């Protein structure tokens, strides 16, 4: 990829970001705790390390008032924020230091004081065509061309934010072009069959989540037996006929549980093999995400930077986290989601796995016509996640706007993307939040879907 293919204003913003960072010997990094945020943090940390800069890293579950107090109190003359920040540009402008923001969430406004790079500012959809790690990587190669090897971590960020689910586009397509040319990333045809040791992957898998198979040792073994495949086999060992049989059985099970053809096509998406990691981008995203979700994001960042001991520990955390995740999804399937007129919700206060369970529930458990909302009310401040589908977006649903409005209506904060958004509110007002969100989604769908509307 020639940097000249980038929109001129975006390239100018990235160059200004690089110039700003080069002026300082110490930079305080702040990033999100999910796969994209950790990928972004690993890329920027490795970049600063190679530049000989001193730096400190802080990861946040969300950017809110408390997080902003931490950023303001850092005392750094330069702060670099990745995969966060779009909703707080005004607050960053008030800070008495250099602020660089590399984000991809829906923008509220631009800035002249803050060095701000975001795909949305250039008319590029940050939900599908450029994630936090994309922006961090572009910053990195503007800093130094030799940082192209870090594009592999950027692909983990893309996959973590599901920007590889329908192939890559926009800024991500430019990264793929450059990565292929350098032999760093290889495209591979996708399949309904999970990659790896089959009985283990079918048992732990939630994408797809197969009822009676995912989370069930007996169910996974029986599916393989029905396909005439030994449970110890790996996906790479299957011949064409075995692949056909197993893929057909998985498709039949998914169809029986109401999974749409479009979702199955998404499951069988193109995969991106990472040369230096011996795994595809989705597997690496899972490893990094598991670290962040379990409060050990530093291990994920160190692994992403290439520390071998951290990588071994991160992969152990991934196995533990995937087991816990599939158990929680099975429990949610058993108790079901609570329906409202325009949304459906569940409470995950006991597990804390709100976001990841929300995505699985939307795709494989809940009503496909209603956005899924997950609530974690374990603390004074409740954290909310929401997930939609592409077909819901086609009907007018915008979860970023809806979550922002509903959270603000009860004294909280929210935002994100049209298809996936989050927020935080006072826990005691969670019911009021749900009622307001249900109404807002109804208004987005049209007057006939607004709660309380009556046909004349």
Q: How far apart are CA 354 and CA 430, in angstroms?
A: 15
Which of the four pLDDT bands, split at 50, 70 and 90, describes residue 152?
Answer: very high
Q: What kind of fold does domain 336-449 have according to CATH? A: Diaminopimelate Epimerase; Chain A, domain 1 (3.10.310)
Q: What kind of fold does domain 3-183 have according to CATH? A: inorganic pyrophosphatase (n-terminal core) (3.90.1640)
Q: Average pLDDT for residues 265-269, to the nearest whole number?
A: 91
Question: Which pLDDT does position 81 carry in this prediction?
Answer: 99
Which of the four pLDDT bands, split at 50, 70 and 90, describes residue 456?
Answer: very low
pLDDT exceeds cutoff 50 at 337: yes
Question: Which pLDDT does position 450 carry in this prediction?
Answer: 57
pLDDT exceeds cutoff 50 at 174: yes
pLDDT exceeds cutoff 70 at 41: yes
Question: Which pLDDT does position 4 carry in this prediction?
Answer: 82
Question: Which pLDDT does position 234 carry in this prediction?
Answer: 92
Question: Which pLDDT does position 83 carry in this prediction?
Answer: 98
Q: Which of 77-86, 228-237, 265-274, 444-453 has the lowest mean pLDDT?
A: 444-453
- Contact status, residue 143 vs residue 18, Cβ threshold 8 Å: yes
pLDDT exceeds cutoff 70 at 326: yes
Torsion sign over Cα 33, 415, 266, 330: positive
The closest of 200, 193, 158 to 322, measured between CA atoms, is 200
3-183 with 336-449: one CATH topology? Answer: no
Please report, for the chain, the start and end positions of each structural domain, with discontinuous segments joined by +.
3-183, 198-330, 336-449
Please state the pTM of the whole predicted model. Answer: 0.89
Give 418-429 pLDDT, tens digit per residue: 999 999 999 999
Q: Average pLDDT for residues 102-107, to the nearest whole number?
A: 94
Give 70-87 pLDDT, tens digit per residue: 999 999 999 999 999 999
Give 291-322 pLDDT, tens digit per residue: 999 999 999 999 999 999 999 999 999 999 99
Give 372-419 pLDDT, tens digit per residue: 999 999 999 999 999 999 999 999 999 999 999 999 999 999 998 999
Give 124-148 pLDDT, tens digit per residue: 999 999 999 999 999 999 999 999 9
Which of the four pLDDT bands, split at 50, 70 and 90, describes residue 449?
Answer: low
Mean residue pLDDT across the chain: 95
Which of the four pLDDT bands, split at 50, 70 and 90, describes residue 455?
Answer: very low
Question: Which pLDDT does position 454 carry in this prediction?
Answer: 44
Give 208-224 pLDDT, tens digit per residue: 999 999 999 999 999 99
- Contact status, residue 224 vs residue 198, Cβ threshold 8 Å: yes
* Residues paired with 101 in a beta bridge: 81, 116
């Amino acid at each position: 990829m020639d940097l000249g293919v980038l929109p001129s204003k975006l390239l100018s913003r990235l160059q200004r970001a690089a110039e700003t960072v080069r002026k300082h010997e110490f930079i305080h990094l702040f990033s999100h705790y999910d796969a994209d945020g950790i990928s972004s943090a690993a890329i920027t940390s490795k970049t600063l390390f190679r530049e000989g800069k001193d730096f400190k890293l802080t990861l946040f579950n969300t950017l809110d008032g408390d997080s902003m107090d931490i950023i303001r109190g850092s005392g750094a003359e330069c702060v670099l924020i990745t995969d966060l920040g779009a909703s707080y540009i005004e607050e960053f402008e008030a800070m008495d230091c250099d602020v660089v923001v590399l984000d991809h969430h829906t923008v509220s406004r631009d800035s002249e004081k803050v060095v701000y790079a975001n795909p949305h500012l250039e008319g590029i959809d940050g939900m599908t065509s450029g994630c936090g790690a994309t922006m961090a990587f572009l910053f990195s190669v503007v800093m130094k061309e030799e940082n192209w090897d870090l594009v592999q971590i950027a692909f983990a960020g893309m996959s973590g934010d599901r920007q590889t689910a329908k192939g890559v586009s926009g800024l991500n397509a430019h990264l793929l072009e450059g990565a292929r040319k350098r032999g760093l990333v290889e495209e591979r045809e996708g399949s309904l069959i999970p990659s790896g040791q089959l009985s283990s992957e079918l048992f732990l898998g939630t994408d797809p989540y197969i009822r009676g198979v995912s989370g069930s040792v007996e169910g996974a073994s029986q599916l393989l037996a029905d396909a005439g495949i030994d449970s110890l086999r790996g996906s790479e060992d299957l011949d064409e006929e075995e692949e056909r049989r197993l893929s057909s059985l998985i498709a039949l099970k998914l169809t029986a549980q109401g999974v749409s053809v479009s979702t199955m096509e998404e499951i069988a998406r193109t995969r991106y093999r990472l040369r230096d990691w011996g795994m595809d981008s989705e597997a690496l995203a899972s490893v990094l995400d598991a670290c962040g979700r379990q409060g050990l994001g530093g291990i994920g960042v160190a692994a992403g930077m290439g520390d071998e001991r951290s990588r071994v520990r991160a992969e152990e955390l991934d196995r533990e986290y995937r087991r816990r995740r599939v158990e929680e999804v099975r429990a949610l399937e058993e108790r079901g989601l609570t329906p409202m007129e325009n949304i459906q919700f569940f409470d995950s206060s006991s597990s804390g796995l709100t976001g990841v369970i929300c995505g699985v529930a939307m795709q494989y458990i809940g009503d496909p016509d209603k956005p899924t909302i997950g609530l974690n009310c374990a603390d004074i401040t409740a954290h909310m996640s929401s997930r939609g589908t592409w077909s819901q977006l086609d009907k007018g649903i915008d979860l970023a706007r809806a979550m922002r409005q509903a959270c603000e209506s009860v004294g909280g904060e929210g935002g994100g993307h049209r298809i996936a958004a989050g927020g935080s509110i006072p826990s005691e007002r969670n019911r009021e939040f749900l009622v307001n969100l249900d109404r807002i989604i109804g208004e987005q769908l049209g007057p006939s879907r607004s709660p309380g509307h009556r046909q004349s």
